[in-house]
Amino acid sequence: MRNFETPTRSVAVSAQAMAATSHPSATLAAINILQAGGNAMDAAIAACAVQCVVEPGSTGIGGDCFALYAPKGGDQVIAYNGSGRTPAALTVDWFEERGLTEVPRASPSAVTIPGAIDAWTRLHADHGRLPLADVLAPAIAFAENGYAISPRVHRDWAKETPLLAADEHAARILLIDGRAPRIGEMHRQPELGATLRKIAAEGRDGFYRGAVAQDMVNRLRELGGLHTLEDFAAARGEYVTPVTTNFRGYTIHECPPNGQGIIALMILNILSHFEAKGAPDDVDRIHIELEATRLAYAARDTWLADPSKVNVPIEEMLSGDLARKLAGMIDLKRAIVDLPSFELPLHPDTVYITVVDSERNAVSFINSVFDSFGTGIMAPKSGVILHNRGQSFSLKRGHLNVIAPEKRPLHTIIPGMVTKDGRTDMSFGVMGGYYQAMGHAHLISKVLDYGMDMQDAIDLPRLVPASGLKPKIEVEQTVPAATIAELKARGFEIVPTEDPIGGAQVIRIDWENGTLTGASESRKDGIALGL
C-alpha cells in the first residue's frame, strides 16, 4: 500500500485492458486502438509509432526494436529480435585505417541497418488484428498535424541542440530557429508523416526498398558511409527463444543475446543467494545489488555479442555454479576493486511500452535510437533520424563483440516478462541503456522480494555502477545522504548523475480478481491507463 502523503501517484487498476508508456499521447493511442477492436500487439505498435513522432529523441523508425509476447496470458513467451546488422562492406580494418579506436557517434559508421520497421511489420502480420494503416494512423496524424511538447521531451531535446544543429537536415526538421521546441509549443514532422504513410501502404518494403531506403542510403554515403540498397533490402529480424531463470518461484523471461537481458538474469541469479532483509532501500541491500551488477556487467563486457557470428556461452552465464561463485565475492564491508573494465555508455534514451488486452495477450515492447537522437544524422526527404547503435561494438581484434560485416552489436534494450504456474504474471521493462539489466533485476527484486507496490518500486532513488575499473557509482540526487556516506565508507566512489536514471513501465495480471495493475515511470512524462 502506497503512502498517500508522499509526492507520487497510485498504480492504475482496471478490469478489461491496460497500456503503460512514457508519454501520455502514446498511452492514449494504445487505449484508443484497443477500444477500436485492436489487440495488445496493435496497441503496442501504435503507441511506439506515436512515440517515434512525439518523443523523437528517445526513439524512432530509424532505430531497433525487441519484443516479448505472451498469447492469451500463457507462459509460452515468444521473442523477436529486431536489431539491425552492419553494412556488408564494414570491417574493423576500415576503422584501423583511419586510426579510430572507437566508433564515433555522429558518423555513418555508427548506423547499423535499422530493425524497428521490420519488427513492427512482422509482429503485426503474425499477431495483430487491425489493418496496419489503422495502427499507424495516430502517429501519422501527430506528424502531419502537430503535437505539443511535453516537459521531459523538451529537457532531453534541448540537451541535444548542438548535435542536431550540426546536421543541416536535422536542424531544419527538428529545431525551431536553431533551438529545441519549448514546453507547450507545437511541432510537426511532415516528412516523417509521409514515410509512415508509405509504410502503412506498402509494409516493410515502404522502408527497406524504394524511395525511403534510397534517401537513407544517399545521406549515409554522402557522409562517407558504406551502406547500400542491398543492405537495406536484406535486413531481417528473427523470432528467437527467450532465455529464462527462476527467481523466488517465478520464471523471468528475456530476449537472448545479442541483447543484455541475460545479464538481468545473471544479476537475479546472484541476488537469489541473499535473503531479502530489512527495508528495500537498506544500504546492505543496495550494496549487494550494486556488486551483483558490477560482476554481471564485467561478464557481459567479456562475453556478450551476436550469437549468429560467435559462440556466446549462454549456459555458462546462467549456470548456478557461476552465480554462487560471483555471490561469494560480495563482501558487505568493502566494495570489490578487481573487476574488468566497462566499455559502454551509461544511460542513453529508449522507450518501453507494455500492453495487456481483454484476452490477456501481453506485449512487452521496446524501441530505441540509443543515444538521444542517435547519431543526429537525418535522412532529408524521409525525415528518418538514424540511430548510433554501432557504438556498442568493440574495435579490439579478437573480442567477441568486435565489429564485422553483417553483424549485430551488443544491445542494451531489453523487454521483460514474468510467468508463474503456466500464466503470465507481469509484463515489464526498464529503459536506460547500460542501466537496463540492473533496472530489471532491481524492479523484480523489489516487487517479489519485498512485496512493494509497483509504482513505489519504480519511484525509489536509483544508483548505477559507472564505467571503469573502480567501484564508481552514479547516484540520483534523491539518494539519502546517510546511504551515500555509508557507501563511501565501504569504498565506493560516489558521483552525482547528470540525468535521471532510466525509466520503467509495468503491468501485472491478477488472475484471481480478473484485474490489471499498471505503473509508469515518474521520471518521464507518461502514464498507465486502463479500460
Instruction: Summarize pLDDT for 493-529 with one digit per residue, the tens.
Output: 999 998 999 999 999 999 999 999 999 999 999 999 9
CA–CA gap between residue 118 and residue 235 (Å, rounded): 8
Q: What is the pLDDT of residue 1?
A: 63
The pLDDT, as a whole number, for residue 434 is 84
When pLDDT is averaged across residues 209-238 and rounded to a whole number, the result is 98
Q: Mean of the pLDDT values across residues 303-315?
A: 95
Spacing of C-alpha 330 from chain mean position: 28
pLDDT of 342:
37
- The 10s digit of each residue's pLDDT in 149-186 is 999 999 999 999 999 999 999 999 999 999 999 999 99
Worst-scoring range by mean pLDDT, 2-16, 84-98, 321-335, 418-432? 2-16
Q: Amino acid identity of 436?
A: Q
C-alpha cell at 39: 489487440
The DSSP letter of residue 527 is: -
Question: Residue 7: its pLDDT value, please?
Answer: 75
Residue type, 332: L
Measured distance between the N- and C-terminal CA atoms of the chain, rounded to whole angstroms: 22
Cβ burial, residue 513 (10 Å; 0-12/13-18/19+): exposed
For the cut 60, the answer to whether the pLDDT of residue 340 exceeds it is no
Domain hosting residue 88, numbered range: 11-531
Percent of the chain topping pLDDT 90: 93
The predicted pLDDT at position 339 comes to: 76
The x, y and z cell numbers of residue 325, run together, are 561463485
Q: Tell me the mean pLDDT in the region 464-493.
A: 93
Read off the pLDDT of each residue in 254-271 and give the average, rounded to a whole number: 98
Task: Let me know if 428 is exposed, middle or buried by CB neighbors in 10 A (0-12, 13-18, 19+).
Answer: buried
> Could you tell me what percent of the chain has a pLDDT over 70?
97
DSSP code of 390?
Answer: G
Separation between Cα atoms, residue 187 and residue 381, nearest integer Å: 17
- Confidence class of residue 3 from pLDDT cuts 50, 70 and 90? confident
List, by residue number, the catalytic residues: 350
Structural domains of the chain, count:
1
**CA 291 to centroid of chain Cα atoms:** 22
Confidence of residue 2 (pLDDT cuts 50, 70, 90): low
Backbone angles phi, psi at 54, to 5 degrees: -85, -15
Whole-angstrom distance, CA of residue 2 vs CA of residue 345: 34
- Farthest CA pair distance, the chain: 63
Tell me the C-alpha to C-alpha distance, in Å, between residue 511 and each of 14, 65, 192, 422, 515.
Answer: 12, 29, 41, 12, 7
pLDDT at 468: 64
Residues composing the chain: 531
Q: What does the alpha-carbon distance between residue 54 and residue 40 come to, in Å, rounded to a whole number? A: 21
pLDDT for 405 equals 98
Give the confidence band of 469 by pLDDT, cuts at 50, 70, 90.
low
C-alpha distances in angstroms, 498 versus 193, 465, 524? 33, 14, 15
Contact 322, 271 (CB under 8 A): no
Mean pLDDT over 83-96 rounds to 98
- Three-state DSSP at 426 gives strand
Residue 444 phi/psi, 5° resolution?
A: -60, -45
Q: What is the pLDDT of residue 416?
A: 98
Residue 5 pLDDT: 76
User: Would you say residue 3 lies in a domain?
Assistant: no
Q: How confident is the model at residue 338 (pLDDT cuts 50, 70, 90)?
A: confident
Question: Does residue 349 register a pLDDT over 70?
Answer: no
The pLDDT of residue 485? 98
Q: Are strands 472-475 and 463-465 parallel, antiparallel or unpaired?
A: antiparallel
Q: How does pLDDT run across 354-398, given as a tens digit for each residue?
A: 999 999 999 999 999 999 999 999 999 999 999 999 999 999 999
